[in-house]
Amino acid sequence: MLPELERFSSSLDVDFELFPYDIAGSIAHARGLAAAGLLTPAQLKAIERGLRVVRKEMSEGRFTFVDTDEDIHTAVERRLTEITPAGASLHTGRSRNDQVALDLRLYARAAASALIDGIAGAVDALALKAADHAAWVMPGFTHVQRAQPVTVGHHVLAHAEPLLRDAERFRHAYDAAGDMPLGSGALAGTTLPLQREVVARELGFERLTANSIDAVADRDFALDLVYACMTAAIHLSRLGEDIVLWASSEFGFVKLADEIATGSSLMPQKRNPDIAELLRGRAGRPVGSLVALATTLKGLPLAYDRDLQEDKAAVFAAVDSGLDSLRAARLLVEHLAFDRDRLAVAAADPGLLATDAAEALVASGTPFRRAHETIGKQAAAGNLRPPWDAATSLRKRDLAGAPNPRRVAARTRVVRRQAAALHRWAQEHPPALPD
């Protein structure tokens, strides 16, 4: 091929990131070949040893690429074969099509586990912050207009709950990548007696792919992962936006500690919420990844097509920015300092209790629509007299899910336990890579 076109088709810059998974997959494949009698024990040993050398060279940045290394798979195999002649038998019964499908599944599972751990960290930071402020009164907003009293704890927990749902989405993505594709070959399996169960067991897969064409063509497990990254990023962007608002001098609800604030190169007085803004802005990446991946997949004829090579850039970008944003969110929340006085001043706005006043009329028998009109008139005339203060209002809001401080405090304990469970789950599901 023309050198320029070789450059166009090479994916090494991107898929180098897959090397730990490619090598682990090759070790498992070699063990499967040996179990099938397709490699001698001596060949297996030489291949395993050689693959470990390649892995060391790659992880230490000592690997020398050559012009014919088109992707990570060819680079690993080429180098292995330089190290040992047994390398020439490694690709028995395998195609790069099922190989890359395997590598990306292994990557997706490791990523989902790491992302769940990232969620555990961010959620725990939110729940701790909420616990410390379970009874701090603040205005709640609709349309960025003061609406009704809530507590800081309740509002902060409202950012933890969606992240817990995202963790479930990552768990689903982990499971969706749980089918082992090797043995599918290029698309039609192989005439050789491969031991698929051996390979699956080596790599911690629960199942074997059930159709060799689907196994090399499908990337919906990757869509699941990117989708989960996107929803998590959208949730973090809304947390970022709330912090941007709260840190503004108009709100003044939080102070940005030095650890999380940036200055301006021009204006000496500035303390900017750049980290919160970046949580908001960076969500564009996984949205882009999801659109890019879905667009690549749409209308592709079965089975493998080279278009599929484009999957990795999209997946890696979504995962990397997800991990980075979760870590940044945790640190941002840990350092967030709420300003009790400013919150109290804002929460003393009598308008926040207009609904309470209407509900007090309802409690003494007035139909709600009439009560709404009466209180609305008082509020418009500026002589609204709330029936009780905001703290009482919060105590009276005592349904499940409501901002009652006692309920908020109880919920912070549940959320912290869930974060701890997610952390444990991630520890128990490390990337299953044979050495």
Active-site amino acid positions:
143, 264
Whether residue 22 contacts residue 59, with contact meaning beta carbons closer than 8 Å, is answered with: no
Q: Which is nearer to ligand ARG, 62 or 306 (CB)?
A: 306
Q: Which of 22, 48, 69, 71 binds ligand ARG (CB under 6 A)?
A: 71
Q: How deeply is 164 buried, as exposed, middle or buried, from its count of CB atoms within 10 A (0-12, 13-18, 19+)?
A: middle
- Binder among 84, 89, 97, 195 for ligand ARG (CB under 6 A): 97
Which residue, 96 or 335, has its beta carbon nearer to ligand ARG? 96
Return d(Cα 27, Cα 41) in angstroms, integer. Answer: 13
Among the residue ranges 41-49, 94-102, 121-129, 281-289, the one whose residues contact ligand ARG (CB under 6 A):
94-102
Q: Closest separation between CB of residue 100 and ligand ARG, Å?
A: 4
Q: Distance of alpha carbon 37 from its chain centroid, rounded?
A: 42
Contact string 132-171 vs ligand ARG (x = CB under 6 A) = ----------------------------------------
- Tell me how far, at minimum, the Cβ of 185 lies from ligand ARG, in Å: 11
Min dist CB 73 to ligand ARG, Å, is 6
Minimum distance from residue 177 beta carbon to ligand ARG (Å): 16
Distance of alpha carbon 131 from the chain centroid: 24
**Of 325, 342, 379, residue with least CA distance to 357:** 379
Nearer to ligand ARG, 38 or 100 (CB): 100
Number of residues engaging ligand ARG in binding (CB under 6 A): 10
Which DSSP string do the residues of 415-432 spell out, in sequence order? HHHHHHHHHHHHHHS---
Element (H, E) at 186: none
State which of residues 28, 38, 100, 347 lies at the interface with ligand ARG (CB under 6 A).
100
x-marked contacts with ligand ARG along 245-284 as a string, rule CB under 6 A? ----------------------------------------
The distance of closest approach from Cβ of residue 213 to ligand ARG in the complex, given in angstroms and rounded to an integer, is: 14
Question: In the window 5-44, what residues touch ligand ARG (CB under 6 A)?
Answer: 11, 15
Angle at 204 between CA 26 and CA 182, to 5 degrees: 45
CA contacts within 13 A on the Cβ side of 67: 6
Q: Smallest distance from the beta carbon of 22 to ligand ARG, in angstroms?
A: 11
Residue 392 tokens read as: 């009482």
Long-range contacts of 208-212 (CB under 8 A, 24+ apart): 208/179, 208/180, 208/183, 209/179, 209/180, 209/181, 209/184, 210/179, 212/98, 212/183, 212/184, 212/185, 212/187, 212/188, 212/303
Residues 343, 347: Cα–Cα separation, whole Å: 6
Which residue in the set 96, 105, 330, 416 belongs to the binding site for ligand ARG (CB under 6 A)? 96
Touching ligand ARG, residues 298-327 (CB under 6 A): 304, 306, 308-309
Cβ closer to ligand ARG: 222 or 275?
222
Give the dihedral sign, CA 302/307/309/310. Answer: negative
- Contact residues for ligand ARG, defined by CB under 6 A: 11, 15, 71, 96-97, 100, 304, 306, 308-309
